[in-house]
Structure 1
Amino acid sequence: MTSEDLLMFLSVATSGNFSRAAIEVGLSQSALSRKISTLEAELNIRLFYRSGRGVVLTEPGHRLVKYATEVKELLEHATADLSSPEHQGPSSIVLAAQPTIAKILFGSIGKALKQEYPGIKMRFKEGLGGYIREWIANGEIDAAIVYLPENHASLGADVILREQLYFVAPPEFGPIGKGFPVERLASVPLVLPAHPHGLRVLAESLTARFSRSVNLSMECDASVYITKQLVAENCGCTILPLVSVQEEMRKGTLQAVPLINPEIIRDVAIISARNRPPIPSQRQVLETVRQQIVHLVKCGAWAGATLV
């Protein structure tokens, strides 16, 4: 006996007529009659007294109506509950991003996900690229928005945009023209984070191209905001994306120009682990995240970024 059997039985019981019930359940009258007869044989009871004017429930039939009604109501409640906006998408998701990206995205992404999935429980984490890749590997987070590392073969990466890096200096540094050659990086004192921060690794790889080392003024593992304060106080220069220093450039507390010869470009991608199954509805949620990032770039909220 299945829920389908009970629903067909209930349709006959409430209509009192096989022909009307057959129309309701979408079967021929003869097919519905056979199914009820099979159910009676399985239960070894008679459910209806049949006559030319219709059917009448037997005493066991009346008892079965109670159970069939409960099953119908339960299925209706389950359908309504699971199809409501509060239960579309996953029940929870953990997203991470590097600090610069988190500052740009987390507010708008949180709002977009809450609007589309009102019942979702969200957790945001901020961390350096190396830590985020560890979190992905051990399952501590579901996905992340990051500056894509060179070695990302083990990650499922959806590249969304590219961002040019800028040389950032205090006003006291003097005129820096329209671009700062990468070859000159080793000759200026830099405020950079320690390893394994991606900017530190990048700065060292850039100076190594010219067989030179980074001229480290001081290390700063605090926020980008603190790094900018140190540069504004003439403690050194740094490397940052344009979106990080727009406000300070308008105020005149910092100056910034693109790194050139060559231009230094970083890809921003949504990453997730390839070695474990995604959470339910993860694809839909990450598509919402992607659309929000694209919107921010198109409306100019992510300065210096271009969509891939």
Structure 2
Amino acid sequence: MDLRQIRYFIVVCEMRSLSRAGEVLGVSQPSLSRQIQLLEAELRHHLLVRTGRGVEPTEAGLRFLEHAKTLDAMAQHARQDMRAFRAAAQDKVRLGMPHRVARRMAPHIVQSFRRLHPDAALTLAEGLSSEMNEWLVKGRVDLALLYDPPSSSLLRFESIYREDLVLAYGKACRPVPPPRVRARDLGRYPLVLPSAPNTIRALVDRTCREVNVTLDVVAEVDVVHTILETMAKEGMFTIIPRSALSDMAGQDFLAFSSIVEPVIMNNLTLATPASGPLPALAEATAQIIRGLEMKQFFA
């Protein structure tokens, strides 16, 4: 066996899908399947079994998974140690952030970083939370800020800030919704929402399943500005973080109702690789983020 096969096997078990694991790893599904087959041939055990929803580890697969995680953690620790050794000479750290978070926080992070580490460089990468998650797994960034990431044994997550989602609409909308809308009543409103996979959409869908309500999604739009423009002009509604209303130029034409029973809260997290301590400069960047007063960025 080799370390690549072990890594592939762990990610397949995490994703419960060869196709999704292939997307995360940047490997074609036939190539991924071939590497798993080679691993099974060497171990003389079937490690995975196909189901109607994807794949699941067999009893032997679960037993080997514990060994695989230990070996992978050791390999990741060795890689991180060598990256830290290289970074000590290069003095560079890579931070991933969602677009909306970057617009609010990046100037403050860069300012603090330059003041505390004038001889080092900070590289900022922007993208969707799902992209940042994959970049961390692949080692393309050293740490990242993510919204509501799925649980993973490959990464550590630390909650940084939670914000409530609201039902937003144009002030010209009639009839005007009440100031507080129960989650089980959200099905009454024609909604413009992001398409899956999207962290806000996943959070809303999960909450609505819990209260047994079916949403009336009349359009799916993936850009916040376009969502707000579409729903305001067409007399529709959307569900977004409260602070996103201030992202819209001329937001005076927008209004919102709080969502209650339950309140829907997103979760901005600081994500880092789970194997071993962070390199010193990456840890220093994480400390800068932890020291920020988050409310000022999401008012």
Q: 1:187 maps to what in 2?
A: 188
- What pairs with 1:142-157 in structure 2 (closer than 5 Å)? 142-149=142-149, 151-157=151-157
- Could you list the per-position Cα deviations for residues 10-30 of structure 1 after superposition, in whole angstroms to 9, with x for gaps in the alignment? xxxxxxxxxxxxxxxxxxxxx
- Indicate the RMSD between aligned Cα atoms, in angstroms: 2.6
Report the Cα distance in structure 2 between the residues aligned to 1:148 and 1:90, rounded to whole angstroms.
Answer: 32
Aligned residues of 1:89 and 1:120 also touching (Cα < 8 A): no
| Corresponding residue of 1:62 | none
Q: How far apart are residue 184 of structure 1 and its match?
A: 1.8
1:1-308 maps to which residues of 2 (within 5 A)? 91-149=91-149, 151-174=151-174, 175-222=176-223, 224-234=224-234, 236-246=236-246, 251-275=251-275, 278-292=278-292, 294=293, 296-297=294-295, 300-303=296-299
The CA distance in 1 between the partners of 2:237 and 2:251, in whole Å, is 17
Matched with 1:83 is: none
Q: Deviations over 1:169-218 (max 9, x none)?
A: 12233322221211122222221222211111122222223434332222
- Closer, same or farther: CA 211–98 of 1 in aligned 2, 3 Å: same
> Secondary structure at the residue paired with 1:172?
coil
- In 1, distance between residues paired with 2:188 and 2:249? 23
Pairs aligned (count):
212
CA distance in 1, matches of 2:264, 2:246: 18
SS in 2 for 1:252: helix
Q: Identity rate of aligned residues, in percent?
A: 19
Aligned-pair distance for 1:250? Answer: 7.9
Spell out, residue by residue over 1:12-54, the C-alpha distance to the aligned partner (whole angstroms, 9 max, x if none). xxxxxxxxxxxxxxxxxxxxxxxxxxxxxxxxxxxxxxxxxxx
Distance 1:147 1:89, change over 3 A: farther
| TM-score, normalisation: structure 2 | 0.63
TM-score by length of 1: 0.61
Matched position secondary structure for 1:165: strand
Q: Which moved more, 1:245-254 or 1:229-238?
A: 245-254
Q: Is the 8 A contact 1:88 1:117 kept in 2?
A: no
Q: What stretches of structure 1 of length at least 5 have no aligned partner? A: 1-86, 304-308
- Whether the 8 Å contact between 2:170 and 2:255 is mirrored in structure 1 is yes
1:184 alignment partner AA: D
Gaps of 5+ in 2: 1-86
Q: Tell me, what secondary structure is at the counterpart of 1:281?
A: helix
The 1:142/1:152 distance shift into structure 2, 3 A limit, reads same
Cα distance in 2 between the residues matched to 1:89 and 1:288: 21
Distance 1:142 1:88, change over 3 A: closer
Structure number, greater radius of gyration:
1
Residue identity matched to 2:110:
G
CA contact under 8 A between 2:105 and 2:297: conserved in structure 1? no
Aligned amino acid, residue 274 of structure 2: R
